[in-house]
Amino acid sequence: GYGGYGASGGITSAYGGITYGSVTAPVDLGSGGGGYNGSQTPPAAGGAGGGAIRLSVTGTLQVDGRISARGLAGTGPSAGGGSGGSLNLTVGTLAGSGSIDASGGPGNALGGGGGGGRIAITYSVNTFAGLMSAGGGGGYARGGAGTVYTKAPNQNGLVVVDNGGQLG
């Protein structure tokens, strides 16, 4: 877990992780998914958690590609996905049509999906027409949605928790 709860796996005692960190100023790394040390050699490792990105841009941040702190998938049967990390952006103008993504990684087979991470964007002007996502990763069960926080000057911030219509 990080911004959202990590999903439980389909194996006895395979519990998901809890939420932690700041909604408005995230700086934490995502947590790794649980591994599985069954009869396979080598054991299946859980996916790595997403990284932490902090950008401060006084002018325009043009995102036509991708800014990502996604968690990674579990590496083998029954391994959990890593949770998304943090994207903390302070910009003059946010523009473009790309993606800003801190989603959790998928679990493998009986592994649970990683929880979504946290995105926080403070801006003066927002013309961004792309996708912002901090959804939970799929798997045996879907991880919980993380948070997307946006704030303009002289406004209260807006927090969105959205798992794309998927239960998690």
pLDDT digits (tens, 9 = 90+) for 22-43: 999 999 999 999 988 876 667 7
Give the residue-averaged pLDDT of 51-75: 97
Q: What would the pLDDT profile of 70-122 be if each residue is shown by its tens digit? A: 999 998 888 999 999 999 999 999 999 999 999 999 999 899 999 999 999 99
Say yes or no to pLDDT of 59 above 90.
yes
Q: What would the pLDDT profile of 136-149 be if each residue is shown by its tens digit? A: 999 999 999 999 99
Nearest residue to 94 (alpha-carbon basis) of 38, 36, 152: 152
Give residue for tokens 């996905």.
81
Please tell me whether the peptide bond between 42 and the residue prior to it is cis, using omega within 30 degrees of 0.
yes
Asked whether 108 and 137 are in contact (CB, 8 A), the reply is no
The Cα-based distances of 48 to 4, 34, 45, 75, 80 in angstroms read 16, 9, 9, 10, 9
